[in-house]
Amino acid sequence: MEKLLQISQEVREALEKGQAVVALESTIITHGMEYPTNVQTALGVEEEIRNKGAIPATIIVTKGILRVGLTQEEIEEIGKNKHQYQKCSRRDLAQIIAQKGYGSTTVAATMMIANMAGIKVFVTGGIGGVHRGAEHTFDISADLVELGQTPVAVVCAGAKSILDIPKTLEYLETQGVPVVGYKTKHFPNFFTPDSGLLCSTFVNSSQEASELIKAQFDILKLKNGILFCVPVPQDQAADGQIVQQAIDKALKEMDEQNVNGALVTPFLLKRVNEITDGMSSKSNVALIRNNARVGAEIAIQLCQK
Ligand code: PSU
Ligand code: MN
């Protein structure tokens, strides 16, 4: 295990001292954004976390080794050579280890590795979910199942409407995952602050968030995760109508081109970015940085005795 899981010295020392550490995923770098936006965003997110006084731990697999905590140079390299990385969810981890391959981790795989490393808080942009038409395709992201079985608090901006949001929320309820609005009762729609649906509960501060995490993991000792949903700041939100049109177009193209399986989410993310001419990418970057600030505050609160 020691050899398989390589935690950077900085992250290891922070964990040993009980300091705040925030996990970050890497599929967003390799399959969610283009170079150089991917690198700028990943570094920007790490900077936000450091500015708050927590330690960022970006997670990836290189040569079959699970890596927790990367240098700026490594993040730059990964972003540049993103095509070298296979998108890795739970089902792909054994394969990538056995083949000593290169894999970027989805929300599901990042939760697993964060949990192995003892990291409780993980920041991302948007989670995977139940896809539209799932009643025919059965396409439900392994992220949702992972949230049902791995005790990590995931901070996100809700889910994109490339997904079926009502079904996604139903699935999370079935999996026993608290869906917690951060200073809102409404489940955010990634690019816009309100999907029109409600979270299962809400908190009004990082302190309240940390109390909820402690109740779930320490008092009840539950094994399932928690989803914190931070709405995109109003002045950074995208034009909902333009994004929705782009999503509808991307979904139509996906059907026409018979895109399926693990390719679905990367295909939709890429097309929505292209169709909105980078407009969606701009609010994407802003909301992830905002999530990073909130996640760092929660992680810091969680370390207070
Ligand atoms: N949604 C986004 N941005 C992303 C992803 C989802 O808005 O980058 C990525 C995350 O890594 C997420 C994964 O875990 O896609 C989900 O893929 P799938 O639907 O194949 O499980
Ligand atoms: Mn899928």
In this structure, are residues 295 and 49 in contact, taking their beta carbons and an 8 Å threshold?
A: yes
**Is 214 an active-site residue?**
no
Q: How many CB atoms lie within 10 A of CB 263?
A: 14
- Tell me the mean pLDDT per 10 residues along the chain, length 305: 88 98 98 95 98 98 98 98 98 98 98 98 98 96 98 97 96 98 97 96 98 98 98 93 95 96 95 88 92 98 92
Place of tokens 């300091």: 19
pLDDT at 277: 82
What does each C-alpha distance from 88 to 7, 64, 221 come to in angstroms? 19, 12, 28
Residue 62: domain span: 5-302
DSSP one-letter code for 261: G
Ligand 1 and 105: CB distance under 6 A: no
Cα(121)–Cα(23) distance, integer angstroms? 6
DSSP per-residue string spanning 58-110: EEEEETTEEEES--HHHHHHHHHTGGGPEEE-GGGHHHHHHTT--EEE-HHHH
Residue 248 sits in a domain of what CATH number?
3.40.1790.10
Count up the domains in the chain and report the number: 1
pLDDT at 281: 82
**Is 16 an active-site residue?**
no
Å from CA of 139 to ligand 2 middle: 5
Ligand 1 and 284: CB distance under 6 A: no
Cα(5)–Cα(71) distance, integer angstroms? 16
Name the pTM for this structure. 0.98
Atom of ligand 1 minimally distant from the CA of 89:
21
Ligand 1 and 27: CB distance under 6 A: yes
pLDDT at 278: 80
3-state SS assignment for residue 282 = helix
Cα(26)–Cα(183) distance, integer angstroms? 27
pLDDT at 1: 56
- Ligand showing the shortest atom-to-Cα distance for residue 59: 1
In this structure, are residues 185 and 179 in contact, taking their beta carbons and an 8 Å threshold?
A: no
